[in-house]
A and B are shown apart, each in its own frame.
Chain A
Amino acid sequence: SQQGEEDPQALSIQEGENATMNCSYKTSINNLQWYRQNSGRGLVHLILIRSNEREKHSGRLRVTLDTSKKSSSLLITASRAADTASYFCATGSGGSNYKLTFGKGTLLTVNP
């Protein structure tokens, strides 16, 4: 069963605009991660935010985490056509195995 659920399922924007994707989850977490997948390729880790953090930045990426609402958002600023990809959130619940549970993803299309 999916722990994280991304919203929207698909998002289409123009180059230069900002893109915001949301993730909701159900149970308590140790950390939440965002991954990117280009068509036909494996997933690539983008950013990790721990449960005691509220916001994190990496280049044009900004991630927020609200543990009271069990939600996170990924903001990509000044989007580029090369940002076109699927974006997944994944939650880690600790324990001894650090398994991640992935959502179904948001397909972002950035039109040039």
Chain B
Amino acid sequence: IAGITQAPTSQILAAGRRMTLRCTQDMRHNAMYWYRQDLGLGLRLIHYSNTAGTTGKGEVPDGYSVSRANTDDFPLTLASAVPSQTSVYFCASSKQNAGAGNNEQFFGPGTRLTVL
């Protein structure tokens, strides 16, 4: 694989169910991010990870959790899905070399999630 992959491509989920969105990158990037994109609201950061073993909260973290056990994988979990979590979810990564100022992000293709 080259770049970032996300799985599944789309999912319809009953409210109250648990769901994990998967994200894997093969670029050995330090930082990874999860965004949700909603019409009229643009991209909003859910959680991020600067490096393996660390995570942080973004703008809209409630109802979501993440883990970063290794460099390549950054799964996003919805413990108990609610209809307001219907959205398109994008995973991204960046090199994030400290001091380089080059923090361009590379995005996955997205997961379209519908919670009924």
Interface residues of A, Cβ cutoff 8 Å to B? 1-2, 30-31, 33, 35, 40-45, 48, 50, 88, 90, 92, 94, 96-105
Contacts and interface: CB of A to CB of B under 8 A. Distances in A.
Interface size class of B (residues with CB under 8 A): 20 to 34
A66 B109 CA distance: 32
B103 A31 contact: yes
Given A42-B110, A43-B90, A97-B31, A48 B104 contact: yes
Contact of B40 (A48, A50, A104): A104
Given A43-B43, A104-B41, 14 more contacts: A1-B59, A2-B42, A31-B103, A33-B104, A41-B110, A45-B105, A45-B106, A88-B42, A92-B103, A94-B101, A96-B50, A97-B31, A97-B48, A98-B31
The 5 closest A-B pairs by CB, nearest first: A42-B107, A98-B103, A104-B42, A102-B43, A45-B104
Interface of B: 4, 31, 33, 35, 40-45, 48, 50, 56, 58-59, 90, 92, 94, 96, 98, 101-110
A94 B41 CA distance: 24
A39 B48 CA distance: 25
